[in-house]
Structure 1
């Protein structure tokens, strides 16, 4: 499956970052790019459970192509969400089911730096995306 153009951009940027410090800085910068959610969108129904930090996820679907917006109260998580969104935005429901989170973060050079709790939290976000896709396609 080919990567969305935003994901290709993220991959190029992170692969050029030579050290973990550079990737961490890049991650923070990507987190700053996230579109802010409205207060009304930071509701309990939009919250993703399974994350240590608070994470909110908003989904819209147009012609079976998903667009997600997300934010977190934690800077590093916002960065991780930003690069996750580059990977999943624009996918259709069936493509969304096949995204390999661990492989994506490994390609970005970020896998080793994901603590188990962060990894579980991001898995919970992806799982929520998949549930939303299934509920609207079925």
Structure 2
């Protein structure tokens, strides 16, 4: 499934949620379903800087696709992570770098309802994924 197809599915899913409370509850549900990282993967090297809550992110390149796995100790942030993983994991570095995730998150009504700290954390998670995608691109 292409990144655009994934984005379309996310748009459709969030179109049924009428207000921020419903979106918030849905993000929490997504976060609860987010798989945990191994204890050995929650290290200072994998911690995402700039997030108020604890966030750890591990990326691997497999068959030219970036595999993104992450975890947070905060429920809403776990939901944001689940959305980002759903969108980006399994995509090529070039596709990741070309896609405008902030515009999608605005469109589905997530970004505008986040506190300043959560917005900064979301920006840090996106920056980390993009940095890892740039590093994974063939020279």
The answer, yes or no, to whether TM exceeds 0.5 is yes
Partner of 1:65: 65
Partner of 2:31: 31
Once the 2 structures are TM-superposed, how far is the Cα of residue 37 of structure 1 from its aligned partner?
Answer: 0.6
Partner Cα distance (2:29, 2:9) in 1:
14
Partner of 2:92: 92
Partner Cα distance (1:4, 1:63) in 2:
20
| CA-atom RMSD in angstroms | 1.7
Counterparts in 2 of 1:4 and 1:90: CA distance versus 1, 3 Å: farther
The secondary structure found in structure 2 opposite 1:67 is strand
Unaligned runs of 5+ residues in structure 1 are none
Once the 2 structures are TM-superposed, how far is the Cα of residue 3 of structure 1 from its aligned partner?
Answer: 3.3
Once the 2 structures are TM-superposed, how far is the Cα of residue 122 of structure 1 from its aligned partner?
Answer: 1.3
State the aligned residue count.
137
Query: TM-score, normalization: structure 2?
Result: 0.88
- Deviation string 1:98-117 (CA, Å, 9 cap, x unpaired) is 23232111122212112222
Unaligned runs of 5+ residues in structure 2 are none
Once the 2 structures are TM-superposed, how far is the Cα of residue 46 of structure 1 from its aligned partner?
Answer: 0.6
- Deviation string 1:47-67 (CA, Å, 9 cap, x unpaired) is 010111110001121121111
Partner Cα distance (1:59, 1:86) in 2:
13
The secondary structure found in structure 2 opposite 1:23 is helix
Deviates more, 1:4-13 or 1:57-66: 4-13
Indicate conservation of the 8 Å contact 2:3/2:95, yes or no: no
Partner Cα distance (2:123, 2:13) in 1:
23
Indicate conservation of the 8 Å contact 2:3/2:91, yes or no: no
